[in-house]
Structure 1
Amino acid sequence: MHPIYNGVPADRLQVTWTKSSWSNPDGNCVEIATLPDGDIAVRNSRDPEGPALVYTSAEIEAFVRGAKTGDFDALLG
């Protein structure tokens, strides 16, 4: 397996990608996957071979909590 780092080509990761049920029919969304060490990889669903961003589980937890509480609502409009 190739080393995992930020920007690694997503198709090099041997993981199962998950897409949100909120994804639109055009495929405009992100997909996530849990890496063997517990980190989380994120990729653009329109570019499945493109770069993956890698976050710790704590970073993803902070982001999800912020999204749930509306911290990023100003970005929507």
Structure 2
Amino acid sequence: MRHTYNGMAATELRGAVWQKSLRSNSQGNCVELAKLPGGDVAVRNSRHPDGPALIYTRAEIEALILGVKDGEFDGLIQ
């Protein structure tokens, strides 16, 4: 895989296996994540699978997931 960068087309991430939450709605409006070689994680919008992907380090994704689990972002959906 070539050099990854924020905003690159998700289609350029050849071989990426995209995963979404089982809680995603039936219209496909969800966030998808893919583990990249080297440990980084790509994030894309499922409504635009060919659109841009944001690339985060494992530590950044871990901090986000732990924050979600702790309820730090509950105010965003209320």
Please give the range of the TM-score, normalised by the shorter of the 2 chains. over 0.9
Question: Could you say which residue in structure 2 is the equivalent of 1:13?
Answer: 13
TM-score by length of 1: 0.95
The CA distance in 2 between the partners of 1:9 and 1:16, in whole Å, is: 15
Which amino acid in the other structure matches residue 9 of structure 1?
A
Cross-structure match for 1:27: 28
Question: Which secondary structure does the structure 2 equivalent of 1:41 belong to?
Answer: strand
Aligned residue pairs, count = 77
Q: Could you tell me which amino acid in structure 2 is paired with residue 32 of structure 1?
A: L
The whole-number CA distance in structure 2 between the counterparts of 1:4 and 1:39 is: 9
Matched with 1:54 is 55
- Structure 1 unaligned regions, length at least 5: none
Moved over 4 A (4+): none
5+ unaligned residues in a row in structure 2: which ranges? none
Distance 2:34 2:58 in 1: 11
Secondary structure of the equivalent of 2:48?
coil
**Structure 2 match to 1:73:** 74
Query: Could you tell me the percent identity over the aligned residues?
Result: 58
Which TM-score applies when normalising by structure 2? 0.94
TM-superposed deviation, 1:2: 3.7
